Structures are given as structure tokens and as C-alpha cells.
Chain A
Amino acid sequence: MESYVKVVKVEKVGPLDTLRGLWVTLSNFFRTIFLRNRVTIQYPEEERDYSERFRGVHILTKHEDGTPKCTACFLCATICPADCIHIEAGEHPNNRVEKIPTRFDIDMLRCVFCGYCVDACPEEAIIMSKEYDLATDTREESIFTMEMLLNRADKLGFDNGYRPHFGPLGGGGTRGKMEEAGITGTTRKK
């Protein structure tokens, strides 16, 4: 009966063939030992350079005079899938602006850092930074209040991360392109 198997090549296996199979492992091994080319990021001293779209801790942005841009419209709290944003609205003295948050808490231990709140905000009042190291001792310490969120960027000097409307450096994104084209749209001017 004819065989259904066609033999293409016969290799004799010798002692060096084990090393051939291990070549990837061995080349990395010699590279780290002799060339001292290590890939380890030494964490507290060095940090990985994350992208411009990295979603870290939220920042509440401010106008030039220091008041928060947020108008307490509750869009971010409504769309949050983890229901971790708690806002209470108060009255703003200027009638054109009408509302301002008196309480804006984000529970960082519930937050999944999805960025939907940033996508939903019509005023770019909430953006995300590149800060990620937030370990705490208790659950209460990780509820970030409005003061902590407002001043975060100034205090820590972290780069801004996720800002889809205005882009990473303020010149890109959908809203940025609209402004360049002269379309003022719904951006409120004070």
C-alpha cells in the first residue's frame, strides 16, 4: 500500500541543535549580561513614557481667573459606567453661566479610567492626566474631592493625557480644528 506521508527531509539531531533552538533565549541572555543592555525600567527613579492619550487621574480645568470651567451639567456623571462621579450643583452669580459645582467627587477605587466623562464633557472641563500611581491605605482616602481634582496639574507637574477635543497640545482634536476653522459652536466665552 502506498504511504500517504511524503518524507521531505531527514535531519540528524546533534548536541548543538538544542542550542540552536534556544538561540533567542541565549541571545537575550548574552545581551543583558555582556552588553549590559537591560530593558528593565527602574521604577521609582524612571518611569515609562506613556502616550499622549493615556488615561490617568482626572483634572478639572479652570478658566484664566481660577474658577472651574465645569457648569455641573451632569453629563459626565450620567455617562460614567461605574457611577463614580458625584456632583452637587450650586448657583453661579453670573446669569450667563448659571450653575457651578459645589461638590464634585470621583471615587478612584470605582473608576475604570475609561475616559467617557472626558468624551461627554461639552466644555472640556474634565480631562485626564498621565498620573497613575495612586495607592492608598483606606477606601476613604481615594475619594478625590473637587479641590484635589482642580489643582492636580499645578501641584504635580504631570503632563496632560487624554484631551480628545483639544488634542494633546491644545492644537489638535475636534474642537481645536473647529476653532481653527473659525466655528465657535458651543464653546462658551465668559
Chain B
Amino acid sequence: MGLESKLGGPGTGWLTTKLDVVVNWARKNSLWPYPFGTACCGIEVMSMVSNHYDLARFGAEVVRFSPRQADLLLVAGTITDKMGPVLKTIYDQMAEPKWVISMGACASTGGFYRAYHVMQGIDEIIPVDIYVPGCPPTPEAVLNGILMLQKKIEQESVKDRK
């Protein structure tokens, strides 16, 4: 972006740091998830956004099923070779900043489907920030993943991307 490229000259380090704190706080507390639920893990995502394990408590209340409006791609379920290009298209259509959580065994590594038709992990096609193991992971495990993503966002800097 225009303003951040001018930061980084001498004497502006403190400004960038303060800007980082504010921008990262805003980004981590308002993640808008896109639940890309293809299989059983999608049910656990539904359970996580309902009231027993509320995801809205962490600011991620707004689930948007359009990649243009979301910033967290929550891949929940088995991704087959046929679904791969669809997932890549959806990821490309999301605007920066964007993060990806790979939920469950199937999305992370193909799980126990060591087969010709299952993609052995979505990191073959898109970069993943957090992997959550489980089959399916309990909703609390996914919440733990989102909390870990929030900690990861705190470490970012506005000069890195976007």
C-alpha cells in the first residue's frame, strides 16, 4: 500500500510498530470466516458457530460464504482432486489479508484416504497457516486453532504484505 511503503525510512520505526499493534489487533479480532465445509468437519464448524462453543466471542461472528467478503478460509473436509481447482479459485478470489486454517485430518494431509482421488493435503495448492488435527476435531480444538491464528497475526507486520 502507498503509505506503508514510505514507512521504514530512518526515524519511522516507532510509527510502524504502533501501526502494527493497532492493525493486527483489528485484524485478529474481526476474522470473517468462510467455512469451506465439504464433509463431516463441516458439522463441527456448524457446532462451533452455535451457542455451546460460540465463535462470535472471538469476533468471528460474521460467516460469509463469498470469498470476496471473507478473510479466513476454514477448509473443513476432504478435498478431492476434482475439488482442487475450485478451492484454488476460491482462494485466489479472496482479497488480502487472508489466512487459511486446515481443519481435520483430510484437509491437512489427506487423512486415512491414501487414495488416487484425494488430495494429500491442501498445502499442495494453497499456503496454510494453521493445521488442526482430529477426525473431526472437537469444536474446542478448532477454537484453539483460531486462538493460535490470532497469536500468529499479532506477530505480523504491515510491511510484510498487502
Contacts and interface: CB of A to CB of B under 8 A. Distances in A.
A113 B144 contact: no
Interface residues of B, number: 31
Interface residues of A, number: 30
Contact of A41 (B52, B105, B147): B52
A31 to B, nearest CB: 12
A52 B51 CA distance: 24
B47 to A, nearest CB: 11
Interface in B4-56: 51-54
A109 B141 contact: no
Interface in A3-55: 38-44, 47-48
Interface string A78-102: 0001111000000000000000000
A43 B143 contact: yes
A137 interface: yes
A111 B105 contact: yes
Given A41-B53, A110-B111, A135 B130 contact: yes
Interface string B125-136: 000011111110
A42 B57 contact: yes
Nearest to A107: B109
Interface of B: 51-54, 57, 105, 108-112, 114, 121, 123, 129-135, 137-138, 140-141, 143-145, 147-148, 152
